[in-house]
Amino acid sequence: MLLNHIPGLLFSPRNEWSLIRSRFDQTTPLAVLRDLLILSSVPGICSFFGAVYLGWSAAGVTPVRVSAESAVLMAFFSWLAIFAAVIIMGFFIHWMEKTYGCHRNYMDCICFSVYVSVPLCLTGIGGLYPSIPLTMLLILAGIGWSAWLLYLGTPLFMKIPEERGFLFASSIVCVALVMLVSMKVVTVFFWELGLGPEFIPD
C-alpha cells in the first residue's frame, strides 16, 4: 500500500524513495487509486467537522460556522478537486518525462504524483481546528515538504541524473502552479453560481 510509505516520506524521505523504487513493481493500479481516494478525502472530511462544529475564526473574532449542507458540498468538491488534480499532474508528468530521458508509464507517473502530494493532503488534518494562522502555517509546511519530496524523489524514482531530475522537478512545479491558479478560478466561478459556503449567523 502507498499509505505504508507515509511515515518514511515524512521522516526519512531519501531512504523511503529508495525503498519505493525497489518495491515499486509490487504496486497495482487499483491500490494506487484506492490510496489516492483515501488521501484526497482527508482535507474535506476534516474541514467539514471543523467548519460545522467549531467554526472559522481569526484572532479575537467570534468563530463563524458553516451549515452542514454547504459543508458537505464543499467537502465533496474538495475531494473531487484534489483527486482530479493528482491524476492530471500524473498525466503532465508522463507527458514531459520522455523529454528528460525517463521511461515510466502513466500509472507510474500517477503514483509519483500521489507520493509527492502526501504532505499537502495531510495538512488538511488542521481543518479539525479551524484557525487562519494555523492553516497558513500548515499549508506552507505542506508545500515546502512536498517540494522537497519532489526535488529529492524525481531523480530517484525516474532513474535519471540529479541535474536532469532538478530540471524535470522544476517543470513539474511550473505545471502545478498553473493548475493551482486554475483551481482558484474554478472555485470563484462556482461560488458565483451560489455553491459557496452558507454561514450560520450567531
Q: Is the Cβ–Cβ distance between 89 and 111 less than 8 Å?
A: no
Q: Which helix (H) or strand (E) is 102 found in, with range? A: none
Structural domain includes residue 142: yes
Structural domain includes residue 182: yes
pTM of the model: 0.89
Structural domain includes residue 201: no
Residue 60's pLDDT is 55
Q: Which amino acid is at 116?
A: V
1 three-state secondary structure: coil
The Cα-based distances of 6 to 35, 52, 77, 103 in angstroms read: 11, 29, 24, 25
Identify the residue with better confidence: 126 or 63. 126
- Range 122-131 average pLDDT: 89
Beta bridge partner(s), residue 64:
56
Beta bridge partner(s), residue 199:
66
pLDDT at residue 104 is higher than 90: no
Those residues with Cβ within 8 angstroms of residue 34's Cβ, 6 or more apart along the chain or in another chain: none
pLDDT at residue 56 is higher than 60: yes
Structural domain includes residue 45: yes
| Cα dihedral across residues 74, 77, 82, 85: positive or negative | negative
- Range 122-139 average pLDDT: 89
Question: Could you read off the pLDDT of 170-200 as tens digits, one per residue?
Answer: 999 999 999 989 888 888 887 777 777 777 8
Q: Is the Cβ–Cβ distance between 1 and 31 less than 8 Å?
A: yes
pLDDT class of 86 with cuts at 50, 70, 90: very high
Its domain, for residue 31, covers 2-194
Which of 146, 150, 145 has the alpha carbon at shortest distance from 172? 150
Which of 158, 1, 129, 133 has the alpha carbon at shortest distance from 60? 133
Structural domain includes residue 86: yes
Work out the percent of the chain whose per-residue pLDDT is above 70: 94
Q: What is the mean pLDDT of the chain?
A: 87
Beta bridge partner(s), residue 137:
none
Structural domain includes residue 22: yes
Q: Is the Cβ–Cβ distance between 64 and 199 less than 8 Å?
A: yes
The total domain count for the chain is 1
Cα 154 from chain centroid? 17
Question: Could you read off the pLDDT of 18-44 as tens digits, one per residue?
Answer: 888 877 766 677 788 888 999 999 999
- Range 79-94 average pLDDT: 94
Structural domain includes residue 202: no
Structural domain includes residue 6: yes
